[in-house]
Chains A and B, each alone.
Chain A
Amino acid sequence: MSLYAADSHVKLRRAQSLIMLSLCSVAALVGILVLGLVLYFLAARGLSHLNIKLFTVASGDGDGFAQSIRGTLQILGVACAIAVPIGILGGIYQQESKGKFANTVRFLTDVLNGIPSIVIGIFVYAALVLPISQAYPGKGYSGWAGGVALAIMMLPLIMRTTEEMLRLVPSALSEASLGLGATRWRTMLSVVLPAARGGILTGILLAVARVAGETAPLIFTILGNEFLGQMDGQVDALPLRLFKYATDVDEKHNQIAWAAALTLILMVLMMSIAARLTTRSRMQEDK
């Protein structure tokens, strides 16, 4: 049998291989094309409507979303203040309990992570906003409630990364400390936690980036505001403003929505890049 003259069966198989692989490449091309179109329109339309006034004027006063940006930052701040300490402590718990309840806790983080954001929103509405509004008519919707909703979404993310990062710390390190007679909390606080610091920070940044664009939970909690609001009342957030302006009949508002989308993406992107930079600098430290 010669190696040169392929019989018809081999030719058929080669053709089949070529066709299927071409189909895969076409699929990749289609995917990239569609996703490219999304990015193209965001960049093109966003840039053409972006101007500095958007960041200084509140929606109620003119063409801008200054109050939304401030609101988003405030709400994210509240969310971090709640989720970061609890998330880190919960992550440490998983590491310290050495698998005893870790599986249960991991399962629970997965469950919480899999709950749609809108359900978190309606939960905070049902648990906080509704009771307060029933007790004090006219109150209820607040920046705090929005912060709580986003904190619930961040919590499982932070717990998971904290646990993973702590697990990467060599056990010899903590054993050395325990062996010197240090208590467990001292060992964790002064030896293990500092070693995992960079990774945990990356996890927090990624969690913030992920919830920064969330809209559904905010519909039920902060309601929105065209002016700068107080945290204990209705406030605005960038994704919420974007939603309202995108579904508005006013064409001017539609254009601002594109600019808001670009702004939002740049915010998310900056946080992701910051997260990546922390990881990189940490890796260089390790070298």
Chain B
Amino acid sequence: MKMNVNNSKDEEIFPSVIASIDAHDLPEFPQDICIAAENIDFYYGSFQALKGVTLPIARKSVTAFIGPSGCGKSTFLRTINRMNDLIDGTRLTGKLTLDGEDLYDPRVDVVLLRKKVGMVFQKPNPFPMSIYDNVAYGPRIHGTKNRKELDALVEKCLHQSALWDEVKDKLKQSALALSGGQQQRLCIARALAVSPEVLLMDEPCSALDPNSTHRIELLINELRKDYTIVIVTHNMQQAARVSEYTGFFLKGEVKEFTTTQKIFSSPSQKETDDYINGRFG
């Protein structure tokens, strides 16, 4: 298997920070804001899952959300592409903007929104079709019919997600035959294929082994140049390795939001410090 060839090399360079992030140059709050949340309250029926969430998400960089289970970080992530719309009895107040446009304006077309804001889920969820058809699914529904165009796009996205070399000879085979890590990279390629601007990742590595996790992290580091990435993670080391900015969620509130470097070295809140140092979680 190809993955094993890279194994030893990867482990040697398993670094604490992958990204070539020049942490010292980062302002505490991002300058170029892609997504802005202002005072977001979110309810599942009568249960309030988010309380006054306010934070900025920087363009073409990685923002991580950390916090204990049930703190609202995934819920918040899912408000950005309005995935929560699919659940009955949910309600949102406050203002959430993408490039200055209100995402919850009644005129917003969720089809366009979700094309612009891609998502990668906790468990790899490839469709039970061929690898090619998985990547081509998005472009096809959005109207790309030309075979050559599709071929080129599929290849490009599989290159981007660092999967091309492993699957180029078996594009017609079922995606379900891939390993978990490969499936997740396929899901990333599938999300990239509709050329989104933002990529939401909901604990993308929680179902993967360390080696696959590392490969996904390397990939995220590559993608940061072109995409605004928001990642929810349980794994604080992961947040530290891949992100520029980190938000700490607790009981539906954002307790702290600042650069990743600062939040992990000198958090301003006691709860953040307690969580990061494993005193609860």
Contact = CB atoms under 8 A, between A and B. Distances in A.
Physical contact A–B (CB less than 8 Å): yes
A100 interface: no
Chain A residues touching B, majority SS: loop
Given A1-B112, A3-B112, A13 B141 contact: yes
B84 to A, nearest CB: 17
A98 interface: no
B141 A4 contact: no
Given A1-B116, A3-B98, A3-B116, A13 B111 contact: yes
A9 interface: yes
Contact of B101 (A2, A6, A9, A10): A2
Nearest to B109: A6
B141 A10 contact: no
Contacts of B101: 2-4
**Chain A interface: which size bin?**
under 10
Contacts of B142: 9
Interface string A1-33: 111101001100110000000000000000000
Interface residues of B, number: 14
Interface in A190-242: none
A2 B112 CA distance: 8
Contacts of B240: none
A3 to B, nearest CB: 5
Interface string A86-102: 00000000000000000
Given A3-B108, A3-B109, 16 more contacts: A1-B116, A2-B101, A3-B98, A3-B103, A3-B112, A3-B116, A4-B105, A4-B107, A4-B108, A6-B111, A6-B112, A9-B142, A10-B109, A10-B112, A13-B141, A14-B111
Interface of B: 98, 101, 103, 105, 107-109, 111-113, 116, 141-143
**A-B pairs, 9 with minimum CB distance:** A4-B107, A6-B109, A3-B108, A9-B143, A3-B101, A3-B112, A3-B113, A10-B111, A10-B109
Interface of A: 1-4, 6, 9-10, 13-14
